[in-house]
């Protein structure tokens, strides 16, 4: 499947906007939890990495859905950006195909792992 | 060869030197560097945080493996890259869509739309990035968890 450079660039911008919102929320919850007073998402105290807080988020459908959405958009945005940088170095057509194939495998693999983890964490939250 | 098709292509060297550049061109280089750094962090981040699916022991073990002062400084670098890439990325998207680029005008020096509209916009975005870094750094190093 050949996707045009133009539509890839449009996706790069569109995913950037989605990431801006979702990663802004993610960074706010994980790193500005105290400053912004986001106790509602960290009910078990102000350490967002505490297992109780991790499971409190994992149980909510909102987090499962937005984690997967952020995972997919950020993987595309990051790997397509890397592809743009590598292509600018002037690889041969054969090297280009290999780059795209390798990045697709990495992206698909991590998308599957991350999606599985977000869903499986719902069960682990009950442990 | 690509070099003959694009004789003005500077390759990697063009990220650092290419003549008389405005700040926008250096932000382009920073955007790429921060993007590569964020991607490297993100790919590892997916694997490390996936440990939560295996329960509390696996999670605590994974978090223990990425603790300590070295990782804290690393996380601060990720915060800096995030803050810059996000605010500069917002600028790039808006400029791409033609927002805040000023009215079309004859390109007569000094270029008023770029100096009076785009440049203050750029400065505002960088101030917001700096504020984000200060706020996040405060929570990371001072309030600390």
Instruction: Classify burial at B43, counting beta carbons within 10 Å of its beta carbon; exposed 0-12, middle 13-18, buried 19 or more.
Output: middle
pLDDT at B25: 87
Whether residues B56 and A127 touch (CB distance < 8 A) is answered with yes
C-alpha distances (whole Å) from B108 to each of A15, B111, B112, B119 are 36, 6, 8, 17
Residues of B in contact with A35 (CB under 8 A): 135, 138-139, 143
Q: Tens digits of per-residue pLDDT, B68-119? A: 899 999 999 999 999 999 999 999 999 999 888 877 788 888 887 788 888 9
Q: Phi/psi at A90 (nearest 5 deg)?
A: 75, 45
pLDDT at B64: 92
C-alpha distances (whole Å) from B126 to each of A18, B2, B90 are 21, 35, 11
Which of A31, A75, A121 is closest, CB to CB, to B136? A31
Q: Give residue for tokens 């993987």.
A: A75
Closest C-alpha to B52, from A28, A54, A43, A29: A54
pLDDT at B2: 47
Stretch A90-118: mean pLDDT, rounded? 96
pLDDT at A127: 67
Task: Return d(Cα A77, Cα B59) in angstroms, integer.
Answer: 27
**ipTM of the modeled complex:** 0.92
Stretch A45-72: mean pLDDT, rounded? 91
> Taking 80 as the threshold, does the pLDDT of residue A37 lie above it?
no
Q: Given phi > 0 = left and psi -120 to 50 = alpha, else beta, which region is B56?
A: alpha
Q: How many angstroms separate the CA of residue B139 from the nearest CA in chain A?
A: 6
Stretch A90-119: mean pLDDT, rounded? 96
Residues of A in contact with B38 (CB under 8 A): 78
Whether residues B35 and A48 touch (CB distance < 8 A) is answered with no
Give residue B1's pLDDT band: very low, low, confident or very high (50, 70, 90): very low
Residues of A in contact with B46 (CB under 8 A): 71, 110, 113-114
> Taking 50 as the threshold, does the pLDDT of residue A122 lie above it?
yes
């Amino acid at each position: 499947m050949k996707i045009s450079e133009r539509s890839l660039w449009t996706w790069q911008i569109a995913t950037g906007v989605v990431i801006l919102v979702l990663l802004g929320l993610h960074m706010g919850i994980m790193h500005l939890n105290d400053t912004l007073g986001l106790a509602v998402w960290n009910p078990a105290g102000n350490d967002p990495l505490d297992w109780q807080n991790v499971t409190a988020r994992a149980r909510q459908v909102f987090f499962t859905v937005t984690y997967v959405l952020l995972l997919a958009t950020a993987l595309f945005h990051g790997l397509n950006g890397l592809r743009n940088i590598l292509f600018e170095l002037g690889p041969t057509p054969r090297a280009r195909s290999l780059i795209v194939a390798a990045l697709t495998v990495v992206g698909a693999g991590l998308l599957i792992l991350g999606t599985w983890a977000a869903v499986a964490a719902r069960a682990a939250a009950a442990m | 060869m690509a070099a003959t098709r694009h004789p003005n292509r500077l390759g990697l060297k063009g990220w650092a030197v290419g003549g008389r550049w405005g700040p926008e061109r250096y932000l382009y280089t920073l955007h790429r560097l921060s993007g590569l750094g964020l991607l490297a962090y993100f790919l590892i981040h997916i694997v490390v945080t996936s440990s939560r699916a295996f329960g509390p022991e696996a999670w605590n073990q994974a978090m223990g493996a990425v603790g300590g002062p070295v990782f804290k400084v690393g996380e601060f670098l990720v915060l800096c890259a995030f803050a810059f890439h996000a605010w500069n990325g917002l600028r790039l998207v808006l400029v791409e869509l033609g927002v805040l680029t000023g009215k079309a005008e004859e390109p007569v020096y000094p270029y008023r739309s770029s100096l009076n509209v785009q440049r203050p916009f750029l400065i505002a975005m960088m101030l917001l990035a700096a504020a984000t870094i200060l706020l996040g750094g405060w929570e990371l190093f001072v309030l600390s968890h």
